[in-house]
Every structure is written in C-alpha cells, then in structure tokens.
C-alpha cells in the first residue's frame, strides 16, 4: 500500500505544504543555490600565467583562426543559459525577473546535479519578444545551448521558433518540450498498465497554454489520431467553429482548433473529461479546478495527470475517490510525479555531447520512450510510471538515445558511438554527483536547518 493511502487527508495536506515552509528557511540560509567553482588545478600561483595572461593568448588565437575550437578550449561545450523574463513563473504569473531568480537558480541546480550541465540563470528585464530574442543572440557566444523558461504565451512560441530558426546552438523551451517529453513518457507507461494503446485512446487536454499545445503536437507525432484528441482553454473546447480564436494572435491554438474535435462539440471541462481515457491538465492551480463529479464520467481505467504548480488542479486522493485508476501530478511528494526534471538534464546532456545544432521534436519523443523504458525495466504499476530523480540511469539512457537521434537526423557536429555516448554521459553526470557529495562531506556545504 502506498504512503498516499496510509495518510489521512489532513496529513497529506500538511505534507503538501511542507516544501514551501522549508523553502522560506533554506533559501536565506544558503543565499542562492549555485555558484562558480574552479575545475582546473591551481597548484601554485604560477598556474595563473597559464589560465590567464600571458598563456591564455594562445587558445584565444586558436579560436580566432578556428571558431569551433571554442568547444575544445572553453566550457562552452557544457554551458547552458536559463533565460526568463519572469512573465509566467510556475503558477504565480508575471512576477518579474528578480522574483523568478529562485526558480532559475533551482533549474541550474537540477541541470548540474542531474545532468552534469553548467547552467546559469539569465533573468532579463525585458518583455518585448524582439528584445528577448536579441538579448539571447547577444549572449549566445558563451553558451552551448539555451533553455527558455517561464515566458508567457503566445510570445513564448514566437521566441522559440525564431531562435531555433536563426541560431546554430540548441534552443529549448522546457515549459513546452520538456513537459511534453515527460508527460508522453507517463502516458506511454500508464497505458501499458491499463492495457490500452496510444493510437486507440481518447485524450483530453485541459489548458491550451505552452505545455499542452506542445504536448498536443507531440502526441500527434507520436501516433495519436487527430480525431482522438480534444483541447480546452478557459473559454471552452477548441474546435473549428470557435469565432473568438484569432489566427494571427494565437496561431498555434487556432491550428489545433482546426485539427481536433472534428465534431465541433461545445462545452467546458465536464464535456472535455467525459468518456476520455487520458486527461492531462496544465491549467489553473487547484485544488478544486477539476471537480470529482466530472471525473466520474471518464472511461474505465482512466488516467489523469494534473500538472499545475504549486497545487494540482485536484488532489490525487480525490481523483482516486472519483474512480480514476491512475493519477499523477507535478509534485515530488505524491506518486507519479510528471516532472520536467526527469527529462531536460538528460536531453541536454545528449544534445551537448554531440554538439547538436537544435533539439527536434523527434529528439524529445525519443527521450520520452527512453524514460518509459527505464521505468518499465524496474516494474511499472499504478503508482510508478516514470523514474524518480534519484535514478541516475534515466539521465544516462536519455543522453545516449537523444545523441543517437541527433546523429541520425544529421544535426550533430560530433558523431559518437552508443558506447562512447554512454561513457561520456556517465563520466560527466557522476562527476557532478561526487563533487556535491565531497563538498557536503567536508562541511563546505553546511547542513540545512531542520523544519517541521
């Protein structure tokens, strides 16, 4: 029996509130989550003549003559910028660049510990899409990849499309592609548990923001028929008869309104949920955005993912009481966490290791299947669909599969064998884990204060 079933509702609610309580103690205690640390030996002060002037002039000249040697002489090969304007942070909305810093630092910590990637928060005091695009282009020489984060729609679509088209390093919007990858992985294994097939289930998506619009595109590419997919925004179900949808202002949403819900069914959340096998919510934080009575009308062996942060659209135990068989959330303190952190560190690891020029939809779909495979090997069940963050193998396996897919698609600058990709990913990821543990064991990272 899972811990979720053993605890009372009051205990579950208290447990759900504990991370926020700890956050207000731990953040000021450490005053930030990441810092710059040397990776070279400094055995004497003479070494600075090598790492800096006069010796550094030689690698500078080499890069000037052969620009791609920047990946050999500098950390560009492993640097990722986590870029945000703070316009849509978690479930908090437009709170600005300074207030988004704790999230972006947290992203940097996850990148480093889970994927061995050196990621830096770049919080921009800019909201105009053209300004953000230009700022990213200006900083690009220092980075091997760009992770766009918590940027509001619809500009997030435009910014991603422009930067992917105009830059020669991978640009990724984790709220779109990352969420799509881990959600697809959870759907794949959830359907295996209940004995259904991806190309023969009815799927409803609650919310038509960045996450679900990318998920919709991903599901279609992964084999879900258009007729089996329905989306709903704050106004109602998307369909071709919706006169309020503007092709110019919301081109992506408009496109899916033409493709899906061929019967032009009207209504809202109750109608979207009815007779669905899978429902994915990425919308307004709950806990009562989704009602129990609506879930009772899902098909048997229903699968529900409620991904709003910090509070899911409905508490998982309430969804179970309504008859839903499998429930996942975006939180680490409940079973089946549909968590981007399972995806982006490994995806970027593989992307950086082959110096891919972009991250394609096929690459993040490949990552989804890699995630699902790792969990399936361990034994999937109703409360375990995707690996947890402590599973090192999931990041290594993704890195290998993503790297191989980039090579197959002809967008990798470096071609490595499957064996070499695995060796490289293991070396970088395990080094990062050991580095953190060493700092903790020696007291350079102090224990966090206890909070109850």
Q: Is the pLDDT of residue 218 over 90?
A: yes
Does residue 30 have an active-site annotation? no
Cβ contact 350:398 at 8 Å: yes
How far, in Å, CA of 83 to CA of 98, rounded? 12
| DSSP structure class, residue 299 | P
β-bridge partners, 148: 83, 173
| Mean pLDDT of the 93-112 span | 96
* Neighbouring residues of 89: CB distance < 8 A, sequence distance ≥ 6: 95, 99, 100, 103, 150
In the numeric block, the tokens 């316009």 are attached to 87
Taking each helix axis from N to C terminus, what angle separates 418-441 and 392-408, rounded to the nearest 10 degrees?
150
| Mean pLDDT of the 254-275 span | 92
Q: What is the pTM of this model?
A: 0.91
- Give the tens place of pLDDT for each residue, 277-292: 999 999 988 899 999 9
Query: pLDDT exceeding 70 applies to what percent of the chain?
Result: 99
The predicted pLDDT at position 285 comes to 87
Does residue 395 have an active-site annotation? no
The SS3 of residue 56 is: coil
In the numeric block, the tokens 């193998």 are attached to 393
In the numeric block, the tokens 């409803």 are attached to 204
- Give the tens place of pLDDT for each residue, 321-374: 999 999 999 988 889 999 999 999 999 999 999 999 999 999 999 999 999 999
Identified catalytic residue from 107, 153, 357, 405: 107
- Give the tens place of pLDDT for each residue, 417-428: 999 999 999 999
Q: Is the pLDDT of residue 225 over 60?
A: yes
Q: Is the pLDDT of residue 302 over 70?
A: yes
* Neighbouring residues of 37: CB distance < 8 A, sequence distance ≥ 6: 435
Taking each helix axis from N to C terminus, what angle separates 361-378 and 344-353, rounded to the nearest 10 degrees?
120
Task: Identify each DSSP E strand in 108-198 by its residue range.
Answer: 118-123, 145-148, 171-173
Q: Is the pLDDT of residue 385 over 60?
A: yes
Q: How many residues does the chain have?
A: 452
Cβ contact 221:184 at 8 Å: no
β-bridge partners, 173: 148
Identified catalytic residue from 30, 52, 58, 72: 52
CATH class of the domain comprising 18-174: alpha beta
Query: pLDDT exceeding 90 applies to what percent of the chain?
Result: 86
How far, in Å, CA of 230 to CA of 401, rounded? 30
Confidence of residue 61 (pLDDT cuts 50, 70, 90): very high
| Mean pLDDT of the 62-90 span | 96
> Which secondary-structure segment (H or E) carries 235?
none
| DSSP structure class, residue 141 | G
Q: Most distant CA pair in the chain: distance in Å?
A: 75
């Amino acid at each position: 029996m899972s811990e979720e079933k053993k605890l009372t509702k009051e205990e579950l609610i208290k447990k759900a509130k504990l991370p926020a309580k700890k956050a207000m103690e731990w953040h000021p205690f450490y005053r930030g989550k990441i810092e710059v640390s040397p990776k070279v030996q400094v055995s004497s002060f003479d070494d600075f003549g090598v790492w800096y002037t006069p010796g550094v002039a030689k690698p500078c000249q080499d890069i000037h003559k052969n620009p791609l040697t920047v990946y050999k002489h500098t950390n560009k090969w492993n640097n990722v910028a986590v870029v945000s304007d703070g316009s849509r942070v978690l479930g908090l909305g437009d709170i600005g660049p300074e207030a988004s810093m704790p999230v972006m630092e947290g992203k940097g910590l996850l990148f480093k510990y889970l994927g061995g990637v050196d990621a830096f928060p770049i919080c921009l005091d800019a909201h105009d899409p053209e300004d953000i695009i230009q700022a990213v282009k200006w900083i690009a020489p220092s980075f091997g990849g760009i992770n766009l984060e918590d940027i509001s729609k619809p500009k997030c679509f435009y910014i991603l499309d422009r930067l992917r088209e105009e830059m020669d390093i991978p640009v990724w919007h984790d709220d779109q592609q990352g969420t799509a990858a881990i959600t697809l992985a959870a759907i794949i294994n959830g359907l295996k548990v209940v004995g259904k097939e991806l190309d023969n289930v009815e799927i409803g998506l609650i919310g038509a923001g960045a996450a679900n619009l990318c998920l919709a595109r991903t599901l279609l590419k992964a084999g879900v028929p258009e007729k089996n997919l329905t989306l709903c925004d704050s106004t109602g179900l998307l369909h071709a008869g919706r006169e309020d949808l503007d092709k110019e202002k919301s081109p992506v949403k408009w496109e899916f309104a033409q493709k899906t819900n061929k019967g032009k069914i009207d209504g809202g959340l109750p109608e979207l949920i009815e007779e669905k096998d899978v429902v994915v919510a990425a919308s307004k934080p709950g806990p009562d955005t989704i009602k129990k009575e609506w879930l009772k009308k899902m098909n048997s062996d229903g699968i529900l993912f409620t991904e709003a942060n910090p509070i899911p659209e409905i508490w998982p135990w309430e969804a179970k009481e309504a008859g839903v068989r499998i429930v996942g959330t975006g939180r680490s303190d409940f079973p089946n966490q549909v968590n981007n952190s399972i995806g982006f560190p490994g995806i970027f690891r593989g992307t950086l290791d082959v110096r891919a020029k972009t991250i394609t939809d096929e690459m993040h779909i490949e990552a989804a299947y890699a995630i699902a495979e790792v969990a399936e090997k361990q034994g999937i069940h109703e409360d375990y669909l995707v690996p947890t963050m402590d599973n090192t193998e999931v990041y290594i396996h993704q890195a290998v599969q993503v790297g191989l897919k980039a090579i197959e698609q002809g967008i990798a600058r470096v071609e490595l064998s499957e064996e070499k990709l695995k060796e490289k990913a293991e070396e970088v990821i395990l080094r990062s884990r050991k580095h953190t543990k060493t700092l903790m064991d020696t007291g350079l990272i102090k224990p966090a204060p206890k909070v109850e």
